[in-house]
Chain A
Amino acid sequence: MSPLVDRKVLYCESAPSGTIKLQIVPEIMSKEYQMRAAINQKLIEMGERERLKELLRAKLVECGWKDQLKAHCKDVIREKGLEHVTVEDLVTEVTPKGRALVPDSVKKELLQRIRAFLVQHAAL
């Protein structure tokens, strides 16, 4: 966290024209951000993030999301040509559709688990 504290010093509000105005987005300094980072760290340390990831993967396979998206990938590949497909192509094509296709029930269940984790491990 120390780099953030250092950057705070570099923040200058006003500067004469011709000089570079350093503007650091204040959100990074906020306690909320720090708290979020701490939560994420805790999520990882306790292995809960891994478990959530596995749970999400399993549910997405069950509900057919993976197959749907794979079919979409096939279209993208046929369009771009088999030899010239790159990871970036796939990511840019697939991610927005993937986000949209997640069924509500899956979202609900995972949110429930995340909320339960947050409430249980408040502030330590």
Chain B
Amino acid sequence: MKMEELSVSSLDNSKLEALAQDILSDLVEDACLGLCFEVHRAVKQGYFFLDDTDQESMRDFEIVDQPGLDVFGQVYNQWKNKECVCPNCSRSIAASRFAPHLEKCLGMGRNSSRIANRRIVTGNNTNNKSESDQEDNDDVNDNDWSYGAEKKAKKRKSDKNPNSPRRSKSFKHKSSTSSKTNQDNEAHAPPKDSYIASSRPVGMMGPRRRVENQESPRMLMKDDAFSQ
């Protein structure tokens, strides 16, 4: 296309500006037209007024903008300071600690069996334990794989069952070579290792068994690593 000698650079600024303005107004008009077509189609297809409801419901569900309330108008930290009474031990527990307490109290949940066991074995004043102590126990009991926890467990086990065939469990950590009997014992022993299962309170058989099954495959795998 022949432009001859005229080019944009030879235009003065005002003409450049005018040109830019014209292009802009073309674009704005395109946008307006686009909107008109969209609206017209919505009207003819019948979905233009769909988001309008009657005035009353719109007022009912309006967004709440007051301090201390959320957008639905509810007080958001209402349950922080409430206390609940535990149906099991009839103690008054803070709401945020209620669920974990119930877990321990009823003997369900992952760690409840361990704590109960430990309490029974050490035979101390469990009723005077505060909730924070219970939480600490959880952390310690979570160390399934730590040597220290197992050592503690083993020590207590040896105290409890002097006549049990599992005496040779102490070989577990010493060397990888072991006799067949030891291997058998090790195969059986690990499930009991990580937590004290020596004496089981009669009333708590079910949940504990469940927990045991969950853990035994893990322990067996660890054992394989050691015993070769």
Contacts from A to B (Cβ < 8 Å): 1, 31-32, 34-36, 38-41, 43, 49, 52-53, 56-57, 60, 66, 69-70, 73-74, 77, 82, 85-87, 90-91, 94-95, 98-99, 102, 107, 110-111, 114-115, 118-119, 121-124
Contact = CB atoms under 8 A, between A and B. Distances in A.
Interface of B (DSSP majority class): helix
18 contacts: A32-B15, A34-B3, A34-B6, A35-B3, A38-B3, A40-B23, A52-B27, A56-B27, A77-B43, A90-B39, A90-B40, A98-B28, A98-B32, A99-B32, A102-B28, A115-B17, A118-B8, A123-B8
B38 to A, nearest CB: 9
B24 A73 contact: no
A55 B44 CA distance: 28
B31 A114 contact: no
Contact of B9 (A99, A114, A123): A123
Contacts of A36: 19, 22
4 closest Cβ contacts across the A-B interface? A123-B7, A122-B8, A98-B32, A90-B36
Nearest to A37: B1
Contact of B48 (A31, A40, A77, A107): A77
A114 B29 contact: no
B43 A114 contact: no
Nearest to A121: B8
Nearest to A73: B39
B6 A95 contact: no
A107 B24 contact: yes
A53 B28 CA distance: 8
A1 B1 contact: yes
A95 B32 contact: yes
B4 interface: yes
Contacts of A43: 23
A47 to B, nearest CB: 14
Given A35-B8, A91-B36, A95-B36, 14 more contacts: A1-B2, A35-B6, A53-B27, A70-B35, A77-B39, A85-B43, A90-B40, A91-B32, A95-B32, A98-B35, A99-B29, A114-B24, A118-B16, A122-B8
A90 B48 CA distance: 14
A50 B6 CA distance: 26
A94 B36 contact: yes
B30 interface: yes
A70 B33 contact: no
B37 interface: yes
A43 B60 CA distance: 51
B37 to A, nearest CB: 7
B32 A53 contact: no
B25 interface: yes
